[in-house]
Amino acid sequence: MNFRQLECFRQTLATGTVTGAAKAMGISQPSASVLVANLERELGFALFRRVNGRLSATPEAQYLWRDVERTLESVELTTQRARQIRDQQFGNLVVATYPDIAVDFLPRIVSSFRADRPDLQVRILARRSQMMQGLLPTQLYDLAIVEWPIELVSVEVEEFVFPCVCGLPEGHALADRPSIGPADLDGEPFVSLLPEHMVYPQTESVFAAHGASWNIAIETQTMESVSSFIRHGAGVGLLDPFTAQRYSRDGIAVRRFDAAISYRIAMVFPRDRLRSAILSSFADTLRAAFDSVKRTGSSQMLS
């Protein structure tokens, strides 16, 4: 038995004629007759008898039709699912990420990506950097976004570098300047990340190079926390462009920072695992979003 034979059987039952079945299937009447005849030969019993010039289903056909209906529905559902997979309308993505980028940036990107993919399921695993170190070797994710490049043989790493910007409380005396340098922040109360964060040694180095006093008032763990302290007037600080964009019009004056301090993140993929088409498309979407932040972030914040 094949799909076309079963479909012709169903349409003949529904229309009461082979001609009606042929029309429904878009084939000729002789072709439909051959399909029914071949199916009867393979089954070993008649499916239809002509009664008063019209085809009537035999009792054996009545016994069979419910199973045929279930089979055809299953094939149709499989065909529909295959189209959805082909068109990247269906699938699952597990994205592990550090928490700060999961607050606003990643929800915005994922929501946009899912807008025409309603059957795509996405799971976000937000983990602190220390926990991420333990998660990455497990490969219980499709893609991870980490705050710094990871050197593990079990993963593939794609790095992205962004310039940090200066965040000031609204109304700060330096807020009228288009850019801020280390000398401008000499002695200013400063909200810093912890010493183990990649930004800390860079900041320490540029302040020393400019002969400026780096007056650390508060040390905290995340960029999100740094931004909160700045918004509450505790001091000035350096922010990554993702956090800065989120709060540039909500309590923080964001200005370019004249000294080069890099904020590095990476996309991480399990090594030696084939990537689905939908994962590749999502990775391309992230790359474009990262590139947009790098190219236009500063101008948008300062406009």
In DSSP terms, which residues pair with 220 in a beta bridge?
193
Look at the chain and report how many structural domains it folds into.
3
Q: Rounded to whole angstroms, how far apart are CA atoms 184 and 259?
A: 11
Q: What's the pLDDT at 153? A: 74
Mean pLDDT in residue range 270-293: 92
Nearest to 283 by CA among 298, 263, 295, 266: 266
Q: What's the pLDDT at 302? A: 44
Q: Rounded to whole angstroms, how far apart are CA atoms 204 and 21?
A: 80
pTM (two decimals)? 0.72
Mean pLDDT in residue range 25-38: 93
187 in the same domain as 50: no
Q: How confident is the model at residue 54 (pLDDT cuts 50, 70, 90)?
A: confident
73 in the same domain as 11: yes
Is the pLDDT reported for residue 47 higher than 80?
A: yes
Is the pLDDT reported for residue 89 higher than 70?
A: no
Is the pLDDT reported for residue 15 higher than 70?
A: yes
Residue, of 229 and 83, whose pLDDT is higher: 229
Q: What's the pLDDT at 203? A: 98
126 in the same domain as 248: no
255 in the same domain as 192: yes
Q: What's the pLDDT at 110? A: 96
195 in the same domain as 155: no
Residue, of 80 and 158, whose pLDDT is higher: 158
Q: Rounded to whole angstroms, how far apart are CA atoms 226 and 90?
A: 39
In DSSP terms, which residues pair with 51 in a beta bridge?
54
Asked if residue 142 lies in contact with residue 155, where contact means CB atoms within 8 angstroms, the answer is no
Alpha carbon distances (Å) from 177 to 77, 174, 189: 62, 6, 18
Q: Which residues of 250-286 are buried (b: 16+ CB within 10 A; e: fewer)?
A: eebbbbbbebebebebbbbbbeeeeeeebbeebbeeb
58 in the same domain as 98: no
Q: In which residue are the tokens 């590139």 written? A: 291
Residue, of 251 and 230, whose pLDDT is higher: 230
Q: What 3-state class would DSSP assign to 48?
A: strand
Q: What's the pLDDT at 52? A: 75
147 in the same domain as 105: yes
Q: How confident is the model at residue 26 (pLDDT cuts 50, 70, 90)?
A: very high
Residue that terminates a domain, selected from 56, 86, 116: 86
Asked if residue 12 lies in contact with residue 32, where contact means CB atoms within 8 angstroms, the answer is yes
96 in the same domain as 72: no
Q: In which residue are the tokens 């990340």 written? A: 193
Q: What 3-state class would DSSP assign to 198?
A: coil
pLDDT averaged over every residue in the chain: 89
Mean pLDDT in residue range 193-200: 94
Q: What's the pLDDT at 90? A: 59
CATH number for the domain that contains residue 224: 3.40.190.10
171 in the same domain as 252: yes
CATH number for the domain that contains residue 51: 1.10.10.10
Q: What's the pLDDT at 63? A: 85
Q: How confident is the model at residue 38 (pLDDT cuts 50, 70, 90)?
A: very high
278 in the same domain as 129: yes
Alpha helices per DSSP H over 153-276: 199-209, 223-231, 241-247
151 in the same domain as 282: yes
Task: Tell me which DSSP letter residue 45 carries.
Answer: S
Q: How confident is the model at residue 88 (pLDDT cuts 50, 70, 90)?
A: low
Provide, rounded to the nearest whole percent, the portion of the chain with pLDDT above 90. 61
Alpha carbon distances (Å) from 2 to 26, 66, 72, 258, 267: 17, 16, 10, 71, 46
Q: In this structure, what token pair is assigned to residue 264?
A: 């590095």
Specify burial of residue 42 (Cβ count, 10 A radius: 0-12, 13-18, 19+).
exposed
114 in the same domain as 254: no
Is the pLDDT reported for residue 100 higher than 60?
A: yes
Q: What's the pLDDT at 301? A: 44
Angle between helices 18-25 and 3-15 (to 10 degrees): 120
Q: Which amino acid is at 134?
A: G
Q: How confident is the model at residue 228 (pLDDT cuts 50, 70, 90)?
A: very high
Residue that terminates a domain, selected from 49, 68, 86: 86
Domain range spanning residue 192?
165-260
Q: In this structure, what token pair is assigned to residue 273?
A: 């695992």
Mean pLDDT in residue range 160-189: 95
Is the pLDDT reported for residue 303 higher than 50?
A: no
